[in-house]
A and B are shown apart, each in its own frame.
Chain A
């Protein structure tokens, strides 16, 4: 169908490289936006804290929809894979829900053995409206049980998903702040990696091979115990900048830990990032090791790229992801495969990221901020993309348009990061683009 682009949306879409794109603004009312909310942002960042009890204070929906849906893997506790909530009912809305929250925390403390050490309380949309003093409840419970009970006031309407990331970062700061005066150790924290399909483990493995110890990971496969060590690190490396730059910034100011932004998607970015981490630690032998390691792994991968390149070269990709940094890595990866990125969209891209994107893509690539399905559809057809890289809501849309798909979001089941992820990424792109299913889809009549 031929849908038009709303006037208000026109400044959020750029058809020609270089023109100033309007981003970091709220969605238009009525749009079928792919965006989520503040709570969603806060929850996805904190969810991988494996031994935390994540209590959603609000009606049941927000707890149901976030129950064990993100493939963040754990090497320890499974607590985070359960769903806890106060399931607020009509009487709670009328008389206030604070008592129920206190009771819920009490029941949790009674029930669990060993007793919880860390609880995050997410206040959703209506909690602020009905006037529950969530902070007071959390404070009292902390005192009563001698554990950490950290409020995350994540009313869905109070901003965009990015605002939720920020709240999550503040919650982490609240958790680690009392431990900030511990002695420094040589080693890094990995920020903004959620260990989807075990990706954090891969990166941690590389760093350890280069003799760079990893002190804490935020938040993939983390725990209360591991998180509170974070202030002792000498360097923060930030993988998902959209969600964690703010935390890195605060840790730099308040704990004197410098940070660098990295990306471990694609050969080029992985190799460059490892080297940058080593360089930032200022030990020449580490940089040499990093260089060696990256060169060896890159050499191993070239035959794989060469094997699939002939079947992928010249194909056109559309990228629609959450943050701008991932989009940048993906464009580079497609370049490595001889593919052209014809559409780039993000949900929460920043101005500087859009500038880098513009420097990587061709003249006629369409760049969109907060794209909706109608726009994606229009440009996928117009630009004749062969594959869409996106998340759960884009998959069926891509298939209906007869376009291949790669999930680069919560539903990826195989790691796509690091050198190990290259083969997975390439084969996934290959399997979807070159599947025999397209013969039936595009062949038309029987």
Chain B
């Protein structure tokens, strides 16, 4: 079953099989959902919007609201100007958002729609905002769409009044609401006033109240985005997803930034905590020290089951860099590490980690796909696979323990509510990784070696 993949690896340059990425617009949609009172708007055919909403709904198990310009033959010939003006009017009339965040698609990019001038000519109701970002589906991946939308918001909204607002801006990157809550909790413990941008917590994990709110309580407000230029500094998490937005703010308003890897595991969480300490100039509280201590204690308790286990990790660049670093901290060997996103920087970062921990015989590759990963695994198997739901086919056909992490996870519940970042997130990961390995051990072990205590 599902074992179409042949063992012999043949070089492919034109055919993509079983991708490890998707297109920019869904990233733009996810970023825009992290802004309060915002309606993401897809400027293209209806299917784009429908697919993006579907994949977000399937991952978060929540409604994902977005509107579409509903392109027709006419629009593709004459341009989408009238579609977007009619759409904006209808959206404000019907759904009453504070902001419409327009992103483009492959179609509207190819026909050359000039969203900037269309928006300038629009009749926007008093107090309402329309922003846009160019997110051509044929450049980069969904990760580019995410940071391009962030930059779209910043281009339209940020200002500098000259008065420092005393806040540290944190760009959490593409993480789950549970991660954002954890990052905020740590910032709170470190006594650093922050603005998180974007912030999907409270939006894509909105609590059940018995009534449906199209614009739930969460999200970065327009005022907070406007104030980003006045902030004390920026901590951008995720070296791939965070670099361009942080650089933009620096160029525009001279706001200094610290670019850090996604804080997964001990070292990377330490770096986040230290960056916060530089902002607050206070000591790390005992509570956080103790958390770190509990993590290290757990790593020690379980190290015998993870040391020198071979693991394959795939997904989005920043989450994979984080998970690879943590796998190395756990003594595992990250044999194959891939992302579908075409960023050379990814490979350099992963190879630097291999060198730092002195592991050999490991492969890192950007712009790769899961078909290729599967072929590698067929040739030299691994003990554990970590990645999105799309790894389950490989895991089943090769009978490998499988841990779901990253985006999208379409076949499990509760994940988006929980963190993988911070010391608490790392504790959760150690538990999950050891459990999945020990479950496999228990499944495979002979009756006479089957033990109650492990």
Interface residues of A (CB under 8 A from B): 1, 3-6, 26-40, 55, 58-68, 78-79, 81-90, 92-93, 100-101, 103-104, 106-108, 110-113, 124-126, 129-130, 155-160, 373-374, 377, 392-393, 395-397, 399-402, 440-442, 444
24 contacts between A and B (CB under 8 A): A1-B214, A4-B93, A27-B46, A30-B41, A30-B89, A31-B68, A33-B49, A59-B137, A59-B138, A60-B19, A60-B21, A61-B26, A61-B48, A78-B2, A86-B16, A107-B14, A111-B15, A113-B6, A124-B106, A373-B65, A374-B94, A393-B54, A399-B208, A402-B210
Across the interface, which residues of A come within 8 angstroms of B206, CB to CB? 400
Across the interface, which residues of A come within 8 angstroms of B67, CB to CB? 30-32
Interface check B136, CB cutoff 8 A = yes
- B390 and A129 form a contact (CB under 8 A): no
Select which of A61, A100, A156 is within 8 A of B23 by beta carbon: A61
- B94 and A156 form a contact (CB under 8 A): no
- B138 and A88 form a contact (CB under 8 A): yes
Interface check B44, CB cutoff 8 A = yes
Across the interface, which residues of A come within 8 angstroms of B58, CB to CB? 392
Across the interface, which residues of B come within 8 angstroms of A100, CB to CB? 14
Residues 205-240 of chain B, each 1 if its beta carbon lies under 8 Å from chain A, else 0: 010101111100000000000000000000000000
Across the interface, which residues of B come within 8 angstroms of A64, CB to CB? 19, 21-23
- A111 and B44 form a contact (CB under 8 A): no
- B76 and A67 form a contact (CB under 8 A): no
* Known interface pairs A35-B46, A36-B46; 5 further A-B residue pairs with C-beta atoms within 8 A, sorted by A's residue number: A1-B214, A28-B86, A32-B95, A68-B393, A400-B211
CA distance A100 to B14 in the complex (A): 5
- CB closest chain-B residue, reference A377: B212
- CB closest chain-B residue, reference A1: B214
- A444 and B210 form a contact (CB under 8 A): yes
- B95 and A35 form a contact (CB under 8 A): no
- B47 and A36 form a contact (CB under 8 A): yes
Select which of A101, A108, A157 is within 8 A of B71 by beta carbon: A157
Across the interface, which residues of A come within 8 angstroms of B143, CB to CB? none
Q: From B16, B84, B211, name the one whose CB has the most chain A CB atoms within 10 angstroms.
A: B16
- A6 and B208 form a contact (CB under 8 A): no
- A81 and B2 form a contact (CB under 8 A): yes
Across the interface, which residues of A come within 8 angstroms of B19, CB to CB? 60, 63-64, 67, 83, 85, 87
- 8 A Cβ contacts from B6-46 to A: 6, 10, 12-19, 21-23, 25-26, 41, 44-46
Across the interface, which residues of A come within 8 angstroms of B291, CB to CB? none
User: Shortest Cβ distance from A157 into chain B, in angstroms?
Assistant: 4
Select which of B71, B72, B208 is within 8 A of A400 by beta carbon: B208
User: Shortest Cβ distance from A83 into chain B, in angstroms?
Assistant: 5
User: Shortest Cβ distance from A263 into chain B, in angstroms?
Assistant: 25
Across the interface, which residues of A come within 8 angstroms of B41, CB to CB? 30
Q: How large is the interface on B (under 10, 10 to 19, 20 to 34, 35 or more residues)?
A: 35 or more
Q: From A87, A158, A393, name the one whose CB has the most chain B CB atoms within 10 angstroms.
A: A87
CA distance A287 to B47 in the complex (A): 44
CA distance A373 to B16 in the complex (A): 35
- B14 and A86 form a contact (CB under 8 A): yes
Across the interface, which residues of B come within 8 angstroms of A158, CB to CB? 72-73
Across the interface, which residues of B come within 8 angstroms of A373, CB to CB? 63, 65, 214
**Known pairs A59-B137, A61-B51, A86-B14; A6 contacts B44 (CB<8 A):** no
- 8 A Cβ contacts from B256-308 to A: none
User: Shortest Cβ distance from B32 into chain A, in angstroms?
Assistant: 14
- CB closest chain-A residue, reference B390: A67
- B87 and A29 form a contact (CB under 8 A): yes
Select which of B17, B21, B44, B87 is within 8 A of A156 by beta carbon: B44
Interface check B53, CB cutoff 8 A = yes
- B63 and A37 form a contact (CB under 8 A): no
Select which of A1, A82, A374 is within 8 A of B18 by beta carbon: A82
CA distance A34 to B49 in the complex (A): 9
Interface check B1, CB cutoff 8 A = yes
- CB closest chain-B residue, reference A130: B110
**Known pairs A3-B95, A61-B25, A86-B15; A156 contacts B214 (CB<8 A):** no
CA distance A160 to B71 in the complex (A): 10
- A129 and B393 form a contact (CB under 8 A): no
Across the interface, which residues of A come within 8 angstroms of B213, CB to CB? 1, 400
